[in-house]
Structure 1
Amino acid sequence: MEYFVYILYSKLKSEFYIGYTSNLEERIIRHNQKSKGFTGSVNDWELVYKETFTQKELAIQREKVIKSWKSSVKIKELIGGNM
């Protein structure tokens, strides 16, 4: 099974969201359905970056590393764009 660490971006919120999942397409759909939670208030989340892992534990570790940065500058460097 494959696991993905992904970064979404919302123009409306001007925010990044970092997560991990084993079903990336379904997860993006769920993020774009208006609901409770951080991503639920808007529905314009776009995938801007992903990494693929064969072990869930490695995906979780990588997600924690990226989230620990708490820096949009470092995230922009990772995804290779200037948003």
Structure 2
Amino acid sequence: MNDKQQLLINCTSLIPVIGTLILIKVANDQLVTMVTAYVLCGELLGVLVSRILKLYHIDVVFVWLGGILLWLWYCFGVQPSYIG
């Protein structure tokens, strides 16, 4: 893999991580912040493991899937329990 491909993979891996950090900042709910922090830790752990194993395309898919599912959960699924 050449340097240009590696840079492209690194940049595409960082976009969902930045989106997850933005969600932590935007969300005003303790549950969302907690779940987002766990997803962010999972994404970063996945990137670390895939870099160690040199499976670069797997981490891109994993991180994007985690970021997209998290935003979908936030936009359509979060409802406080007291709203019934």
Does TM, normalized by the shorter one, top 0.5?
A: no
Which of the pair is proportionally richer in strand?
1
Larger Rg: 2
